[in-house]
Amino acid sequence: MKSMDAYGWERLRCTFFTEVCRRVLGSYFGTWGFAEKEVGLVGEVVFLRDGLFLEVGYEPETSPTYSPTIVLGTGQGKFDEAGRPSAVPLWYIIPDDSPARAYASWTFRTKQELEGVLIQLRDSVLKPHARPLWLDLNRLERIISRFRAEI
Long-range pairs for 48-52 at CB < 8 Å and ≥24 separation?
Answer: 49/134, 51/75, 51/137, 52/134, 52/137, 52/140
pTM for the structure as a whole:
0.88
pLDDT digits (tens, 9 = 90+) for 39-83: 988 999 999 998 899 999 999 999 999 999 999 998 766 656 655
Instruction: Find the angle CA(51)-CA(131)-CA(33) to the nearest 5 degrees.
Output: 50
Residue 72: closest CA among 2, 3, 7, 136: 136
What mean pLDDT comes out for the span 122-150? 94
Give, as one character, the DSSP assignment of residue 65. S
pLDDT at 77: 65
What CA–CA distance (Å, rounded) separates 137 from 15?
A: 34
